Each structure stands twice: as C-alpha cells, then as structure tokens.
Structure 1
C-alpha cells in the first residue's frame, strides 16, 4: 500500500466513525429525554433518517412517524382479532377498539402535520386526543373475564407516543 492510500485509509477510519458517533450522540440525547429509553433507541438507531438528523426536530418527526406506523400495526392486529373472534363481550370490545383506533391514527397523523408546520401546541393537543381514544379502547376490556388481547400492543404504542412527546417537549423554539 503506498503512503497516500494509507493516509486516505486512516482518514476514512477516523472521519466516518466520528460522524456516526456524532449522529448517534444526537439520538442518545433525544432518547435521554424519554422514559422508555431502550425502546427509543430501538426505534431511532436503525432508522436512516434519524441517523442523518442534525437536530432534535427531525428526531421528533421520525419518532412520530414510527408511532403512527405502530398505531397502524395495532389497528391491523385488532382487525384480525375482530374477524377471528366469536360473538360476545370480547368481540364487542374489539369492534369498539377498531372504531377508536381509526381516530387514534387520524390524531397521530394530525399531530405529525401540525408538528411539521411548526405548531407544537396543536401537535401536543392531537397526541392527547390520540391518548384519550387509545385509553377508551383499553377500558372496553375492563371487567371482562379474560385479559385484553391487545394490551401488550397498546402499551408499546403508548410508550412510543410518550417517547415522541418527550422529544418534542425538549425542542427549543
């Protein structure tokens, strides 16, 4: 290897890890604001948009995008359970949840739009509305003989939304 090639190789080794660490540092900072740090890291670290982020606002947008994606997964799972369940109180609760999750997804999407337009107050209000509808879904299973078949999914969604809200809260105007 000639001296110039060696120099380029050494520079590449020193420059790219630094860039990666800097981008990871911003993700670490953002996730440090959250209660569910491990979930935050699991969500943001593999995301290419998060890695190219230069500011917390971008990470908040990415976190909201993943929250919406998770809400869509929960909604699909509810639909699947609803279709496979028989008559009875659990099916009734699933039908109610299906209706509530349409609103949950709409409110998260509205929060994304408001946030991207710089209206943090409206974004927070839409996320609160999403939370209320998600909680109404969960309450539909209270008092049933069996455990809610969706509680693990709605818990994860709640945690992801909480993480997004925590990052949003720490953005400087």
Structure 2
C-alpha cells in the first residue's frame, strides 16, 4: 500500500508469514498481524478497539453502551435497557470531559471546550459501535447469543444493558 495524498508519503508493506499471520512494515517499524478467528471476534463483542483499552474507562463505557443500544437492529428478541444506557453514556461523557480537563489536553478544533470535545468523542464512539455491531453480526453466526452473554444479566462486558424480550419480567 502507498499514500497518494500525503505530502510526506508512506508505504506499508504486508507479507504473509503463515496461514493467518502477517508482517506489516512502515517507516522502519515492523509489526506482526494475526487475522482474528470467530472465537476472537466473539471474545471482543461489545468492546472498543478504536481508543485502545485503558486510555480511559469513559470511552470504553460509551462504546459498549452504544453497541448495546444498536444490537436490537439485528437481534429483534433483545431490547436495550434504555435508562441504564443513558446513565452510562452521561457518566462516560462527563468522565471524558473531566479526563481532558485534568490532563489539560489540547482539544480539536482549537477553541473547542472540553465539553464540546467530549460530546464529539461520544458521537465518534456511537458511529464506531454501530459499525461494529453490523460487522460483528455479519461475522458471527450466533451473534445474538454472543451479545446476550456480553450484555445480558450477568454479562461479561456490561451486564444488564440488554434484555431478552422472550423472558418474562
């Protein structure tokens, strides 16, 4: 691959090492890439990969909440726990703004308040989560069961954000 619009230009070379293992090189740096298996995709259901886990819990929380909110578009038997999702999203946005303030981070575009940046960041998390739901649903044959394990009662990602409509309250 090569950059066509960057004034500095760059190339990214990918070499297949074995099966689903690749090596990518750019600007003298080499990284090993491994194609995910269905088991890997299932393990990552509802978890963000865009910010890197651990930057702050607020972006991870927002991604997971938006992910759960989007699930019913592909799993009609599952319903989003709207009030819990709203609480999680409010806490995430306030947490991100606080993270920016405490670290005196530079926000973009210049002149943007920390709160405006936090709001924009949450919209990006929403877009990423909606896209992830669509892609995960295409990849995983048993997607709806996987998300119920991640977000249902006792879920491993964000328990209680999805409710199975087939179960009596």
Q: TM-score, normalised by structure 1?
A: 0.28
Q: Which has the larger radius of gyration?
A: 1
Select the structure with the greater relative contact order (CA < 8 A; seq sep ≥ 6): 1
- Bigger share in strand: 2
- Bigger share in helix: 1
Q: TM-score, normalised by structure 2?
A: 0.28
